[in-house]
Structure 1
C-alpha cells in the first residue's frame, strides 16, 4: 500500500526491456547515440512540432532549471504560483542556474490565475532600474495539489505572458497525467496553447530516471546544450536515457501508464469519499489531498501503508481529529491494494 509518491513505483517492463537492449555493444556518447535520433523524431511527432529541439536529462529539477535559465537574465524574475514545483521542491535550483534571478510568487491556494499573473507583471515595470525585471512565466501542470489547468486556463495565462512579451515554461513532471485528464494532445497542451518550452516528465510515470526538455523555438537550443554541459547534466552513457524515453514513447506507453495511474486515483478518491474523507482539493489526475480521522491514520500506519501526513501527530490520543494526507497513485497501483487501503476505514 505505497501511496507516498509516483517517484517510488517500479519501472515499466517495456522500458526496462529497451534499456536491456541498449546494454549491448558500444554506442556513441553524449547524446550522439542512434536511439536519441529515434527519441527526437518520436517527440517531434508526439508534439506535432517537426522543428522542435529535444534534449534529455535525468531529473526534473535539471529539466526545469536549465530550461528556465535559457530564458532568464540574472536581473530578472521568474513568475510562478505560490505553491509551484519550482518554489516548493527544487532547493533554489532555478535561481542557481539562472545566475541568481529570483522567483516572484503569485498568491493562490492552488492554480495560478490570469488576474494574479497580470498583477504580478504590472508590479515589475521595465523602466525601474531598482527592481527585478520581468522574466519568464512557469506553470506547473499537474499542480502541486493534484489539479489540472484546463486548456482554456493555460491559454488565458499564456496570453497574459505574451502581451507582456514574456516566454512561458511548462513544468510537466506529470505531463502525461494532465494530458490524459484533459483528453488532449501534447501539442494542444503546449505550443498550441502558447508554451515555449516544456519539461516532458518520465520519471514519475514509469521510467527509471529521464525527462525531456522540448524547445518549440530552436533559437534556445545551443544555449541549452552549453548550460546542460556546464551544469554537469550531460550524460556520457546517454543511451540509457535515450532507451528509457524511446520505450516511453513507443505505442504511446506514456499515455497508457498515465491512464492507469489516473484511474487508480479516481477509484481511491471514490472510496475515500464513500468512507467520509474530506477532499481538500478536487483530485483531477493521480494525486489526492484529503482529511480523515487520526484513528484511521493509526490503523493504516500500523498496517504498513506509506503516504504523507501533512499536519498533526499521528501518535496522539485524540482519534477523531481530522489530519490531512497526500496520496499518490502510480501506473502500477492495483485495485487490490486500493481496496486493502480502504478496508481500514
Structure 2
C-alpha cells in the first residue's frame, strides 16, 4: 500500500479506453484533430469563458512555459518557499523565462498572503539594479496540502494587479481544490483575477496530460511559439487530447478528486486523534503532512506501508498522499497500523 504520491498510480480505466479508441484510424497532427477542438470547447464551457488553451504533457512544462509568457528575463516571480517551481523543477522556470528570478515569500500556514506580497512590493521602486516584479505564482491546492479560499486568491490578485504583476496558478491538483471548495472553476481562477492556469490531470488519473489555460488576451501567439520551441507541440496531439476529453467528460475529474480528498481527510482525522501525532497543516485536499513518533513510522513501514519522509522538516515528519484509486480499505489498514504502533 503506497501513500507516497499521487504519481505512483496508474491511469483510470476511462482514460485508458479513450486512448485506445483514439488509436483507430488517422487524425490530423499538431493539435488540428477533432479531439483537441472538443477539449478546447469543454474547457471553455467548464470555465465559462473563451480562454486560449494549449496542451502539454508535464506539469513542469506547463508551469515553465506559462511563466515564460508572463515574465521577462529581468523579472521576478513571487512564490511560496515550497512551491514546485521553486524546489522541484530543476530551474525550468528560470531557463524558459531566460533568467527570471524566483523570490519566495513567507510561509503562512502553508500559503502565501496578500499582505506579505504587498510588503515585498512596497520596497520596489523600479530600480534598474533590481529585478522587476512581474508575476506572483500560487499553487492550488498547495504543496502543503492546504487550499486557498476564493477570498485569499482574490486578495493576492488584487495586490498583484495593482502593482502591475500578472498572476499564475499552478493547478497540478486543481481538481482536488475545486472539489474541496465545491465551487465553480471560474470562481477561483479568472473571476478572482488569475491570468494563467496550469491545469493538471496527470496526478488525478491521466497518463500524461496538462493544459495551459490563458485567460489573459494576447498571450496565445507568443505561447504557441514557446510551446513548439520547448518540444511540447506533439505531432500526435490526439493522444493527449483523448486523455483530457475522458477526464473532463461527465465530471470524472471532480469525482476522482473528491474520492482522493475523502480518503485523505478520513486518514488525517484518525491520525490527529493519536497520541504524539501532529498534523503540520490542515488536510484540505488529498495530502497530509504529519509528525509522528519514530517508533510509529518504523512500525508502519514494517507493516508494508509506503510513504515519504519529508525533506526540510524533522526526521519524524512524513507526507501521505491519497489518489483517485486509493482504496478506503487501505486507508483503514494504515489507520489500524498507526493505532497499533501508537499503543
TM-score (structure 2 length as normaliser): 0.95
- Counterpart in 2 of 1:238? 237
In structure 1, stretches of 5+ residues that fail to align are 313-320
- Counterpart in 2 of 1:151? 150
Query: Which runs of structure 2 are paired with 1:300-339 in the superposition (5 Å)?
Result: 300-310=300-310, 323-339=316-332
Moved over 3 A (4+): none
Quote how far apart the aligned CAs of 1:105 are: 1.1
- Counterpart in 2 of 1:46? 46
- Counterpart in 2 of 1:340? 333
- Counterpart in 2 of 1:99? 98
CA RMSD of aligned residues (A): 1.5
8 Å contact 1:288–1:328 — kept in the other structure? yes
- Counterpart in 2 of 1:124? 124
Q: Distance in 2 between matches of 1:244 and 1:115?
A: 39
Quote how far apart the aligned CAs of 1:217 are: 2.4
Does 2:21 match 1:21?
yes
295-304 or 327-336, which deviates more: 295-304
Q: Distance in 1 between matches of 2:315 and 2:230?
A: 44
- Counterpart in 2 of 1:35? 35
Quote how far apart the aligned CAs of 1:124 are: 2.6
Q: How many residue pairs were aligned? A: 336
Quote how far apart the aligned CAs of 1:216 are: 1.1
Quote how far apart the aligned CAs of 1:29 are: 1.2
Secondary structure at 2:295's aligned position in 1?
Answer: helix
Quote how far apart the aligned CAs of 1:278 are: 1.2
8 Å contact 1:293–1:322 — kept in the other structure? no
Secondary structure at 1:187's aligned position in 2?
Answer: helix
C-alpha distance after superposition, 1:174-216 (max 9, x if no partner): 0010111111111001000000110111001111111111011
Does 2:228 match 1:229?
yes
- Counterpart in 2 of 1:215? 214
8 Å contact 1:125–1:133 — kept in the other structure? no
Secondary structure at 1:342's aligned position in 2?
Answer: helix
8 Å contact 1:311–1:323 — kept in the other structure? no
Secondary structure at 1:219's aligned position in 2?
Answer: coil
Does 2:56 match 1:63?
no
8 Å contact 1:265–1:328 — kept in the other structure? yes
8 Å contact 2:309–2:315 — kept in the other structure? no
Quote how far apart the aligned CAs of 1:275 are: 2.6
Q: Distance in 1 between matches of 2:95 and 2:181?
A: 33
Secondary structure at 2:134's aligned position in 1?
Answer: strand
- Counterpart in 2 of 1:186? 185
